[in-house]
Amino acid sequence: MVDKEKKTVDFEKLKQTVKIGVRMQDNVIDATPYFLEDNKKQALGERRVGLGVMGLADLLIYCEKEYGSPEGNELVDQVFEAIATTAYKESVELAKEKGSFPFLTGKSEEETNRLREAFINTGYMKQLPEDVRESILETGIRNSHLLTVAPTGSTGTMVGVSTGLEPYFSFTYYRSGRLGKFIEVKADIVEEYLNANLEADADNLPNWFVTAMNLAPEAHADVQCVIQRWIDSSISKTVNAPKGYSVEQVEQVYERLYRGGAKGGTVYVDGSRDSQVLTLKAEENKMETSEQLEFKQPVVLVDTIQDLRSTSVTIGSELGNTCPVCRKGQVMEIGGCNTCDNCNAQLKCGL
């Protein structure tokens, strides 16, 4: 959705894609086999769909806007306004062709008008453009809800873009293959940038290459609230907070989300669980209180990463290595598999 030469969003392409997406998802409602009558009645009655996004962080990088910055949030606001207004206009067009969703249709014309009046005066609908609201009042709308932001973890990873609306957790990560070896991988967008800018330094990328732990938790929350303004359903978003973040500070983030209009929120404090998928390396995460934190610092990587520079310990999946998952146990042969004797992670099997 970006013109990479001009470093701008291709809004016409975006709007056309939204139109197709709305129609496709509306068709899915009719194509779905419903095994319970109550489910069928509800699905066909409200015709709720959830068009979402992934790769938002990539879009901002291509436009050279910093995720969480005022300029970045302004562009995000424009993008989601375009998505929302286009989706609602297309759903109105669908209603003209195929009829409004049944729960918005009363037994009489008077009742139908009353239902439509109530619908366009809900909190979310009041902020949509007046022409959209008026058209719903005149012809109805095909779908009760149209938008959401799902996490898209699997699909985003599969096609090599940032997931959902999240920034990248890191631009460098390590993956293990069938042989259990750890291979350093850079995010596709970084490789693309380095190939296009041969003088660029991979360890000193421009400021618009933002990672999740570079951002203050408040910046995470603000991006979600900017987007929520244009999303009629819920949003999947994690507010990443650094180790040492207090209960009171977490409370303040939730209050910020609430005041900003978010329908829900997740705050995850780094190191708050005994085991987590992604963590900062221990030597970079020793602060006791958040007052010591400096945001905007480069974040290296993370659980399951092999730290070759600062330790003589061999972290890997071979016998005798230190476990890459918990960093505590030793890899032993247990039941035919190379297994951690501390967390029992099976790292390599002979099958």
- pLDDT one-digit tens code per residue, 17-66: 999 999 999 999 999 999 999 999 999 999 999 999 999 999 999 999 99
**pLDDT confidence of residue 255:** 97
d(CA 61, CA 55): 10
Place 280 in a pLDDT band, splitting at 50, 70 and 90. very low
Burial class (CB in 10 A: 0-12, 13-18, 19+), 283: exposed
pTM of the model: 0.77
Q: Which helix (H) or strand (E) holds 84?
A: helix 70-98
d(CA 9, CA 215): 23
**pLDDT confidence of residue 301:** 28
User: For the residues 242-253, what does the mean pLDDT come to?
Assistant: 95
User: For the residues 110-130, what does the mean pLDDT come to?
Assistant: 96
C-alpha distances (whole Å) from 38 to each of 35, 102, 145 are 9, 15, 19
* Chain segment 163-179, per-residue pLDDT in tens: 999 999 888 866 655 65
